[in-house]
Amino acid sequence: MVTRDMKRILVADTPEAVEILRPVIGDGATLIPAFTVEEALAVVAQGVDMIVAGVHFDKSRMFDLLRMLHADRQLRNTPVVCVRLLTRNQSRATALDLAAVWRRMSPAVGPDAMVEGKQERHAVAATG
């Protein structure tokens, strides 16, 4: 169920990556997939809390998306996490890192929060 209070995460990546991230993020946020730069910019213009951009997004156009976001004064402060999701097993670790960072998300995520997130991910992975 989507409510107005739910955080909105744009996932600019492949359909497979969206499906890998969906169960890890869970019901705490709304994942909005975008498969082209144009789709991603349209969604971001409507407002998102975070962008997850994959290196395989839109035929490897992740850096084009980042440049366009940076060029727009209203969009340049949108938090972006860049990922490389390959196989389900490798991607699960990346997705758990992302989920740990998301849980600590504030307007800006500093290096300390990311280190804490990695430690939490390892604890989650160890307990199953």
Could you give the residue ranges of the DSSP H alpha helices within the chain? 15-25, 37-45, 62-71, 88-103, 111-127
pLDDT per residue over 45-57, tens digit each? 999 998 999 988 9
pLDDT per residue over 3-37, tens digit each? 557 889 999 998 888 888 787 777 778 889 999 99
Task: Give pTM, 2 decimals.
Answer: 0.67
Q: Please, what are the domains in the chain?
A: 7-127 (3.40.50.2300)
